[in-house]
């Protein structure tokens, strides 16, 4: 079940059937959905994500966050995933609508109603995922492998066939075992070992000389404290020459904007005036 954690929204709860479902999202889409999922509520379908929130969560610049949200909002609507049970295969979409507000650096997401009903009806067998760990992973494959292995962590070990791996990552049958090992498993597990609480070793399972799957041994490292960066305090006014100059540059492309609007948006997003001015200027240049 995906739901808001009762005491800490840094934890995501995803039902293992969803984690192990086949879907193919890029990193910006996964990150956008993770920001939605950590505040998911059963009676709420609509969510908004701001560029500043994305920037803070994933330690990227506002410009990078802006581009990532634009990319995710353009692609996410067409995405689907396939959930398997013993008796059926079910195709579902993650979202019903995605709306990008180009002048405000935010995205509105409406979860597909049928999908929400499906999620909220799932009552048991969930995995708790730490958002702080997910946010440090830098590729879609590393996020997917982390989620899948986390869902099997209670077993300490799991054997996945090549068909399992192809299904989890939406790979066609022509994707060779060597590519799976060299381009997916090795780099993703190296990243997982470096930044998450999991310690994973693996070995190939063979039939004769042919590799048909992998055995994964999953352990938990000693928990380390995660340092959180403080958000810059928003400035109360335009108090420096840099801010005044940036504002003049912004007015050249957005003549109607006022200092009061910039201050209000900076306070709303919890960023400095300089950061907001730079973001708005770069945002306008991309339009």
Print pLDDT tens along the chain (287 aa). 333 333 455 677 676 767 766 667 788 888 888 888 878 787 889 999 998 888 888 888 888 888 888 888 888 888 877 777 778 887 888 888 888 887 788 889 898 887 776 666 543 445 667 888 888 888 888 988 998 888 888 888 999 999 888 888 878 777 888 888 888 899 999 999 988 989 999 999 999 889 999 999 999 887 544 444 444 444 456 667 777 777 888 788 888 788 887 887 777 666 677 777 776 766 655 44
- Residue limits of CATH 1.10.10.10 in the chain: 1-135, 143-228
| Contact indicator for 197, 133 with CB cutoff of 8 Å | yes
The token pair that represents 261 in the structure block: 């609007």
Looking at the structure, give the CATH architecture of the domain made up of residues 1-135.
Orthogonal Bundle (1.10)
Structure tokens at 33: 């959905």
Compute the distance between CA of residue 64 and CA of residue 279 in angstroms, rounded to an integer.
10
- Cβ pair 35, 134 in contact under 8 A: no
**How many Å from the N-terminal Cα to the C-terminal Cα in the chain?**
39
Give the list of residues 6+ apart from residue 100 with CB closer than 8 angstroms, or none. 69, 70, 73, 74, 107, 108
For 143-228, the fitting CATH number among 3.40.50.1010, 3.30.1330.40, 3.40.50.300, 1.10.10.10 is 1.10.10.10
226 burial (CB, 10 Å; 0-12 / 13-18 / 19+) is exposed
pTM for this structure?
Answer: 0.59
User: Is-contact 22 168, C-beta < 8 A?
Assistant: yes
Alpha-carbon Rg for the chain, nearest whole angstrom, is 21
**DSSP characters for 137-165?**
--SHHHHHHHHHHHHTGGGSEEEEEHHHH
Under 8 Å between Cβ of 66 and 280: no
């Amino acid at each position: 079940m995906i739901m808001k954690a009762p005491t800490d929204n840094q934890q995501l709860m995803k039902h293992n059937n969803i984690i192990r479902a086949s879907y193919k999202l890029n990193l910006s889409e996964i990150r956008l959905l993770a920001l939605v999922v950590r505040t998911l509520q059963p009676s709420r379908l609509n969510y908004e994500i701001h560029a500043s929130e994305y920037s803070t969560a994933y330690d990227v610049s506002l410009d990078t966050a802006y581009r990532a949200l634009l990319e995710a909002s353009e692609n996410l609507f067409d995405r689907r995933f396939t959930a398997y049970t013993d008796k059926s295969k079910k195709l579902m979409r993650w979202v019903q609508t995605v709306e990008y507000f180009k002048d405000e650096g935010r995205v509105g997401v409406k979860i597909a109603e049928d999908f929400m009903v499906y999620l909220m009806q799932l009552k048991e067998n969930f995995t708790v995922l730490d958002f702080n760990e997910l946010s440090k992973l830098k590729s879609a494959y590393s996020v997917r492998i982390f989620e899948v292995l986390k869902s099997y962590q209670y077993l300490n070990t799991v054997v996945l066939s090549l068909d399992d791996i192809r299904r989890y990552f939406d790979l066609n049958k022509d994707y060779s075992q060597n590519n799976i090992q060299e381009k997916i498993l090795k780099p993703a597990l190296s990243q997982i070992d470096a930044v998450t609480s999991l310690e994973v070793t693996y070995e190939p399972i063979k039939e004769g000389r042919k590799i048909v799957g992998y055995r994964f041994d999953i352990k938990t490292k000693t928990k380390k404290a995660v340092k959180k960066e403080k958000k810059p305090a928003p400035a109360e006014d335009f108090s420096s020459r840099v801010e005044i100059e940036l504002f003049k540059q912004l007015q050249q492309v957005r003549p109607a904007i006022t200092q009061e609007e910039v201050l209000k948006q900076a306070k709303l997003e919890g960023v400095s005036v300089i950061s907001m001015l730079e973001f708005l200027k770069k945002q306008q240049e991309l339009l």
